[in-house]
Structures are given as structure tokens and as C-alpha cells.
Structure 1
Amino acid sequence: MKRLTLTITAFLGIVLFFSGEMAHVHAETSRKSGAEIDLKRFKEEESIIRDPENPANKVDPGETPQTDGDLRIDFVPKLNFSTVKRTDEAAVYPINAQLFHDETSARGNFIQVSDYRDTSSGWTLQVRQEEQFKHVTKIGAELKGAVISFDQAWTNSTRDASLSPTVSKEVIHMSNIGDTYNLAQAQNEKGSGTWSIVFGASKENKNGRPNSLELRKDSSGNSIEDPIFKKPVYSNQAITLTVPKETEKETGAYSTVLTWILAELP
């Protein structure tokens, strides 16, 4: 079984005031060259990132780690749970929604997978958390018991819905550090072309999905501007980080490492 992997850092900042901190990304890729047109199937050589709600439209989410080849990961989100006020109670922190450098409005966070192999034998998209959220500067401080959860999963593509990979209808709680969790699976003859695996949606979506996005505001009720995209920040309730009450919470930034895995089915 061939596996393609990407690693990405997720951030959470716990401070007394709101501010922004973006994720840093490192990619480990397995690359395969070649793209062509044959009588059966068109193969996209270039990884074009598409609007998860309107996949006929191209979007610019900024730089992202990718894998190459006929079966590849085109895009993974930079997970940022924003900067929040410290609390001694249990807390659930929603992720920042996906923003773009073009006119596209905020979207649910998504992963884009492309399969242009001659034979669509299927694939599985997985994610693994390599370590608990650790304090960036204070050695030994971590958010014990913190859990990332993925909810409101759906798929979208310009391809026919009958070819869609399947996603979980239940909430995926990544309760065990080091375990691998399935996010989507395409059986034989499914998942060909380019697909977005999406968590949450905007209120503008025409896909019948409930709105999971909400404008983030500071303590004065003003919208918060993202320093990279120069746009208002939205939270996305479809991906959350839960921190138990009994967890010791030091102020400052925390980070963890997620590995995204795209595996061919045998």
C-alpha cells in the first residue's frame, strides 16, 4: 500500500487579550511525475485549488504543502484555533475558518484530494496527531486531555455525486494521541477526479449544509482582522479543540503536529 504524508503544525494561543498567530507548515512528500490525456480520462497535471462550495471556481488559499502524482493531496488546512482568554473551566475552542487571497468569502476548513490514476482502485484519507498541544516556550507545559474533533463532514466536486468518497456522519474525536483516524474513503471506482473533504460551511453555500461559521470579535465587539489575508476572521464550529477543566493552562501559545495520510487501497 502506497502512502503519501504531509505534516502540519496546529496552534492555540491562551492569553488575556485577543490576537492572531498563524501556523507554520512542514511537508514530507512522496512524489511521482507525469500527467497526460488519454482516451479514457483527463489528468490534471497542475494542482488547482478549488472553492469547496463552488468547485468550478479556482481559489487562492495561500501556500500549502502538497504531494505530487496522479493520486495526491492538493491542499490541507493550516489549523489555527485562534487566541483566546484563559479560563479555569472546561472550554471548547472552534478553529479559524478558511480564508482566501481573492474575493472568495470564508469557508469551512477542507482537504483537497485528486485521483487521476488510470484505474480508480480507491483511496483513504487519514489524520494522526503526533503529540499533545505543548507550550511553545515553556518546557513541560502541555494541554493534557485536550482533544481535536472533526464534525459536519461532507464532500464536493465537479464530478458526479455518485463518484463521491464517503465521510463519517459521526463526530471524529481524536482522543488517542498517535492513533490514525479515517476522514474519508473512496472505494473501487469511486473518488476519481478532484474532491474536497469539507468540515462545516458558510451561510452562502448552495449545498444544503448548515452554517457553521461565525464572525470573531474582540472584547470591544469589533471584528478581528487576519494579518495575512487582511480579512475578518471567522470561527468554524465544525472543528474544535476541547480542553478539560482539570487541565493546567499556562498563558502563551501551544502547538501540536498533525500528519495527513493519503493511502492507496490495495
Structure 2
Amino acid sequence: MKKKTCIKAAFLLALLFATAQAKTFYAKESSLPGDATIDLKGYKEENPIIRDPENPEVEVDPGETPQTDGELRIDFVPKLNFSTVMISKENTVFPVNAQLFHGNTSARGNFVQVSDYRDDPTGWTLQVRQENQFKHATKAGAQLKGAVISFDQTWANSTRDLAKAPMVSKDVIRMSNVGETYNLAEAQLGKGTGTWSIVFGASEENHNERPNTLQIRKDGSGKEMTDPIFKKPVYTNRAVTLFVPGATEKEAGAYSTVLTWVLAELP
């Protein structure tokens, strides 16, 4: 039975052989059968460590995040925030806020981190589903009808061999149907083991030959915005966007929706 886990909101094997100086002894020849056993297991990160998606050897602190348990698990999912924007009667595309971190790490593209430390990995898929349309926080029935979240510039990164990376979509993933599940990444048998970041967009300082999708976010007066939690400048990430039709009726105030991130084992 296929196992699924959901969140709403280099294979390293080291063998050390020791050698010692040999001494020669002579004795009457005799023999006795015996057994020799060895149990080889791959290195496992028992506790999730969140890694910089652009420099995965570096541990980072993106703040609290929901996680799943087990040897095949989701370590991190992004909290997508499209910021405060002006109401418009035109079709408008709003970029999401880029991922920020406590400490010295700069803004990054939004990402999901998946770990697979099963002894017999069979592969996995990462999917996302929007459970409902954007709803107004206080006004019952007020929704952003026709609003669509899109994911673009998807790539995978890890400290592992990138030839073993999960496959990601080269096309824009438009979540145009509320309640429908969309594939973000798929690791076939023999791939996707260890810890992997599935990343949407990248910063200008990345060394992964990815185009820069981040830009400083400014308010209506042209002033740079600062995040109140991370105490850092806010960046936009045009790899994750929200389209809102101009014809949609809009009430001033906060809107929200629920995204379910699904990790399922293959086959």
C-alpha cells in the first residue's frame, strides 16, 4: 500500500579499515569453520536539519515550520506571503515574498525540503493541493474568485550527487483548479535519497547557474520594506506568483487559503 504523508500550510557510506603490523607464529595446522557478518546501513539524519537550498552544506534557521516524521518525510514547507498590495480593476500578478532566515543567510527562493533515509528506498513524489479559494478573513462569502497560484523556475539541490536528483517540472505549474493535486517533483527508484530541496527561483548570489528571480520589495512610496520577524529587507520572488483577475470583486482586508503538501512513496 502506498504510504502518504501530508502537511497543510551524496549517499554517504564510510567504511574504515584498520591495519596492524603482522607477527608470524608457527603451530600445528588445524581448522574450524566460523561465520563473519557485517550489517551496512546508510547514514541517516534522524532529526531534520534545514539546509540552505543554494548551499546545502550550510544549516539555516527559517523559523518554525510544520514537519512530518519518519525515514521518508517533509522537513520544511514555505509559508507563502504575497504581502500587502493595492486593489486593482486590472488583471494583476503578485509575486510572493522570498524566503528569509535568521542569521547571516540571505533571501532565497521559496522551497520544500524532503528527506528519504529508508533502508530500501523505492522513490517518492511531492505534490501540492489548494484546498479552497482565497477567503476574506472577516467578511463571510468574500473570495478572490479566479485567483491562481503558480510555481515556476523549479530545481532540485542537495549535498548528494545531483545526477541522482528527483525530476522536477520544466513548465510553469498553474494551480488553476482548487482541490486538484499537482506534481512538483518525482524521484524514481535509485534517486532522491538523502535530503533534497525543491526550490522555486534563486537569488542573484547563487552558484547553481540559476537565473535571479529575487528583487527588493518596496512599498507604495518606494521605500524598502523590512520584515518584522527576521529584521531583514523583504524580497519578492517572481518564481511564485498569485494571479487575480481584474473582474473579481475585491474587499479590502486579508485573504488566505490552505495548501496541502503531499509526500508519497513509490511505486
TM-score (ref. length: structure 1):
0.88
Number of the residue aligned with 2:44: 43
1:71, CA displacement in angstroms? 0.3
Matched residue of 2:62: which SS?
coil
1:40, CA displacement in angstroms? 3.6
Matched residue of 1:162: which SS?
helix
Q: After the TM superposition, which residues 1-266 of structure 1 pair with which residues of structure 2 at under 5 Å, given as runs?
A: 1-8=2-9, 39-266=40-267
1:119, CA displacement in angstroms? 1.2
Deviations 1:69-113 (A, max 9, x none): 100000000010111011111100000000001100000000000
CA distance in 2, matches of 1:80, 1:245: 20
1:263, CA displacement in angstroms? 0.2
Contact 1:147 1:243 (C-alpha < 8 Å) held by counterparts: yes
CA distance in 2, matches of 1:249, 1:68: 40
Matched residue of 1:113: which SS?
strand
CA distance in 1, matches of 2:139, 2:222: 31
Number of the residue aligned with 1:26: none
Number of the residue aligned with 1:30: none
CA distance in 2, matches of 1:173, 1:223: 29
Contact 1:88 1:249 (C-alpha < 8 Å) held by counterparts: no
CA distance in 2, matches of 1:91, 1:222: 21
1:219, CA displacement in angstroms? 2.1
Rg larger for: 2
Gaps of 5+ in 2: 10-38
Matched residue of 1:82: which SS?
coil
**More strand per residue: 1 or 2?**
1
1:46, CA displacement in angstroms? 1.1
Matched residue of 1:181: which SS?
strand
Contact 1:148 1:242 (C-alpha < 8 Å) held by counterparts: yes
Aligned AA (1:99): L
Number of the residue aligned with 2:25: none
1:220, CA displacement in angstroms? 2.3
TM-score (ref. length: structure 2):
0.88
CA distance in 2, matches of 1:161, 1:200: 18
Aligned AA (2:258): V
Gaps of 5+ in 1: 9-37
Number of the residue aligned with 1:35: none
Deviations 1:20-69 (A, max 9, x none): xxxxxxxxxxxxxxxxxx62411110100000000000000000000011
CA distance in 2, matches of 1:199, 1:160: 20
CA distance in 1, matches of 2:173, 2:240: 10
CA distance in 2, matches of 1:51, 1:116: 19
Matched residue of 2:258: which SS?
strand
CA distance in 1, matches of 2:182, 2:221: 39
CA distance in 2, matches of 1:194, 1:115: 6
